[in-house]
Structure 1
């Protein structure tokens, strides 16, 4: 159970130790990503995979492509901030900041 979580946490720690203040773990470090920082976010590619042509990509390649294409298009449309600060009830923000949130879920 939770193998991905247990396998991933050491890598997150490694990134934090290696990159320090240059990386922003969203939303754990806050809902707004400061200028000049790289952001690490959780995405759920199935939200977008079917919205982009598959061409000859494998399912994993399609997921990566869809996530990157969605992020690019959303940023170009000036809508990324809407997803970086999703609409929630006021008391839900602190909970999600501890438990995490999936970028793109409104």
Structure 2
């Protein structure tokens, strides 16, 4: 009974509180909810690794679609990396972080 209570009452909140797992869950949810978004061979790898990077790194640069999903997930997960779609946009943040 205890596991059923956790699953129905606290699972979503507690999973969202774990930086990487919360992002991964949110990205998969967003992707599956979007019927127009077609999955490609590398999408699961991108989801896994960019969820991890954006949870624990300071700055992440990713391709447009995945970065958009990560930005949409930010409101539901703990603070993480600053996200950029293009390296040239990230350069000032990288230079500041390196200084």
Q: Provide the TM-score with structure 2 as the length reference.
A: 0.30
Which has a greater percent of helix?
2
TM-score, normalisation: structure 1: 0.28
